[in-house]
Structure 1
Amino acid sequence: MSVLLGGFDIGGTKCAAVLGSAADGKVEITAKHSFPTPATPEETIAKFSEAMGELLKAADAASPLKAIGISCGGPLDSRRGLVLSPPNLPGWDRIDVVTPLRERFGVPVALQNDANACALAEWRWGAGRGVSSMVFLTFGTGMGAGLILDGRLYAGISDMAGEAGHMRLEEDGPVGYGKAGSFEGFCSGGGIARLGRTLAEAHIRQGGTTAICTNLEGLEGITAKAVFDAANGGDALALETVGIVGRKLGRGLALLVDLLNPERIVIGSIYARQEALLRPLVMEELAREALPLSLEACEIVPSKLGEHVGDAASLSVALHALE
């Protein structure tokens, strides 16, 4: 029997209200309404309530709404339903997002950070189905991890478990999570762009050319996509940049493999789109760095939900609330 779930994805620039139906290990997104993130948290919650009410009315579903899940960047307090001043949400200081929605819709409401929410979604409906222990890595704008350990979401005592991006892989390197040489510094959209700019500038000043960027004036326009597009086209400097990224990704994964001994690591966003380039580099580094028995037991796979993982994420939090 299907369960009707509501979801609320809160982002720094846009939000989405999602309605979906979950049954037999699958989820179907039945309706969605996106809107720019309002100026205040109070306006945002009111806008979501309005949007969810309209989606429910238009759906005229046979079964009632059972729960609402909220996915939001951290830090947060999932137990008390509080958003705790995320860097991309100024003004969201200890904001209770759970109580107003529970009172408005009369159903269980739960909050999780976006990496945990994505981990739940991939575990229930995506590339993590059927395993008891898995790690989900966002590998998008930032690098965060969601942990499913022994069949349960593990968030840590302060909801801070899985902040893999903060781990330092080198003494120096691109800055990510406020730390030079961090996992996020090397393995995130912003980090890859910064690494590409650094290498391209040195290369161009030495008289070289690269498809990443044709001149010094274009350095600030370099993005992770530009680096990978150039690498896929065979550009030598882009391939050097991707080589660094792939090896650092492998080194970060080796730490997770050795520490957690998971059955599967699911990697989203950039890895899912660029697996052909990254996987050989990652597996070579893993073979060099990880414990053989742990590595043998662990699969490294791309996200199965792909670009839809964000929509499914908040719905997975709703289903988690019911359980």
Structure 2
Amino acid sequence: MSRSGELLAGVELGGTKCVCIVGTGPDDVATQISVATGDDAEATLGQIEAILRDLDRAMGPIAALGVASFGPVDLDPRSPTWGHITSTPKPGWSQVDVGRRLARALDRPTGFDTDVNGAALAEGRWGAAQGLADFAYVTVGTGVGAGLIAGGRPIGGFSHPEIGHMRVARREGDDWPGSCPFHGDCVEGLASGSAIKARLGGSPARLDEEDPVWDLVAHVLAGMAHNLAVTAAPRRILMGGGVMNAQPHLFPRIRRELTRSLAGYLALPEMEDFIRPPGLGDMAGPLGALAVAADALAAARSPR
């Protein structure tokens, strides 16, 4: 296969697994290798370093590396802890240096961002947000997170947004306390895959689509979308991740709940176009790491 550009490497570091990918984009993925994200950060990062070096020798030269990580993470390039995972609930990963350590593995231009920002960048470059400068990518999986793109770039201030930890109005009669160890009944504590499992005592995969828990989940996710619509005014909200990919019946439920919640206040696009699945499907995350690498390479070569 002829290359459409220089070879890039990406690391999508998720809470349960890590994907190492080499390629130039969705039409040119040379290889993907997955490893478990164990509770021993040192061992997991050592595996990733070895994979990157092996891929560089076997397939390289790799021009740049992108790391898209679960968080929270420090994205301030002036900070001494840039590239660190900070106060995560995942055992063994708090205050762990991911960005600088993996950058040293290849010694190439390296970008570091959140997993959801990476996926959002990939959707804008190759997926269902092409041509849009202002949109959101939401993942609903083990946790809940969102990448917000404004003017073509991820937004952030002192840190990156933690949309999954906002609180929304609860559905009447739902008084379950939630599963988030920090905030209890935030969006992640009510609507993530781990929250559904904690609420029911079993995997959400076994649930019929008519189970009433899905109406509760849709209510929470619509509340999150309401808040995104009235604060960030995205032109589109893409919803992916393990829960959304496995439960497509949630989309019409969320659209109905959002329409009811907004009560005609905003002049939104057609709801089927406003709330949509990602165009890249479950490849949004790994390709997000490649998008971060592409941006890092462009930044390294741009005139100072």
Aligned residue for 1:209? Answer: none
| Structure 2 residue 257 is matched with structure 1 residue 253 | no
Q: How many residues are matched?
A: 282
- In 2, the alpha carbon distance for the partners of 1:153 and 1:302 equals 19
**Contact 2:36–2:44 (8 Å) recurs in 1:** no
Q: Offset at 1:105? A: 2.3
- In 2, the alpha carbon distance for the partners of 1:190 and 1:312 equals 24
Aligned residue for 2:292? Answer: 317
**Contact 2:72–2:86 (8 Å) recurs in 1:** yes
Gaps of 5+ in 2: 299-304
- In 2, the alpha carbon distance for the partners of 1:118 and 1:317 equals 9
**Contact 2:122–2:288 (8 Å) recurs in 1:** yes
| Structure 2 residue 52 is matched with structure 1 residue 48 | no
**Contact 2:85–2:93 (8 Å) recurs in 1:** no
Distance 1:86 1:247, change over 3 A: closer
Which of 180, 184, 187 is the matching residue for 1:183? 187
Aligned residue for 1:307? Answer: 282
| Structure 2 residue 224 is matched with structure 1 residue 244 | no
| TM value normalised by structure 1 | 0.78
Distance 1:241 1:87, change over 3 A: closer
Distance 1:158 1:36, change over 3 A: same
CA offsets, 1:276-316, max 9 Å, x none? x2233222222222254342377110122222223212212
- In 1, the alpha carbon distance for the partners of 2:169 and 2:28 equals 39
Distance 1:241 1:71, change over 3 A: same
- In 2, the alpha carbon distance for the partners of 1:268 and 1:46 equals 29
Secondary structure at the aligned position of 1:30 is classed as: strand
Q: Offset at 1:74? A: 1.0
Distance 1:92 1:283, change over 3 A: closer
Aligned residue for 2:83? Answer: 81
**Contact 2:143–2:192 (8 Å) recurs in 1:** yes
Aligned residue for 1:156? Answer: 157
- In 2, the alpha carbon distance for the partners of 1:41 and 1:98 equals 13
- In 2, the alpha carbon distance for the partners of 1:191 and 1:37 equals 20
Q: Offset at 1:191? A: 2.3
- In 1, the alpha carbon distance for the partners of 2:122 and 2:129 equals 8
Q: Offset at 1:266? A: 0.3
| Structure 2 residue 95 is matched with structure 1 residue 93 | yes
Q: Offset at 1:257? A: 0.9
Aligned residue for 2:301? Answer: none
Distance 1:106 1:194, change over 3 A: closer
Q: What code does the residue aligned with 2:69 have? A: C
**Contact 1:18–1:32 (8 Å) recurs in 2:** yes
Distance 1:12 1:139, change over 3 A: closer
Aligned residue for 1:70? Answer: 67
- In 2, the alpha carbon distance for the partners of 1:89 and 1:317 equals 26
Q: Offset at 1:69? A: 0.9
Which of 269, 273, 287 is the matching residue for 1:296? 269
- In 2, the alpha carbon distance for the partners of 1:93 and 1:267 equals 29
Aligned residue for 1:211? Answer: none
**Contact 1:142–1:165 (8 Å) recurs in 2:** no
| Structure 2 residue 236 is matched with structure 1 residue 264 | yes
Gaps of 5+ in 1: 198-219
- In 1, the alpha carbon distance for the partners of 2:101 and 2:189 equals 37
Q: Offset at 1:146? A: 0.7
**Contact 1:272–1:306 (8 Å) recurs in 2:** yes
- In 2, the alpha carbon distance for the partners of 1:48 and 1:125 equals 26
**Contact 1:136–1:268 (8 Å) recurs in 2:** yes
Alignment of 1:120-131 (within 5 A): 120-131=121-132
Q: What code does the residue aligned with 1:74 have? A: G
**Contact 1:8–1:71 (8 Å) recurs in 2:** yes
- In 1, the alpha carbon distance for the partners of 2:93 and 2:258 equals 41
Q: Offset at 1:148? A: 0.5
- In 1, the alpha carbon distance for the partners of 2:109 and 2:91 equals 24
**Contact 1:169–1:252 (8 Å) recurs in 2:** no
**Contact 1:32–1:55 (8 Å) recurs in 2:** no
In terms of fraction of residues, the more helix-rich structure is 1
Identical-residue share of aligned pairs (%)? 29
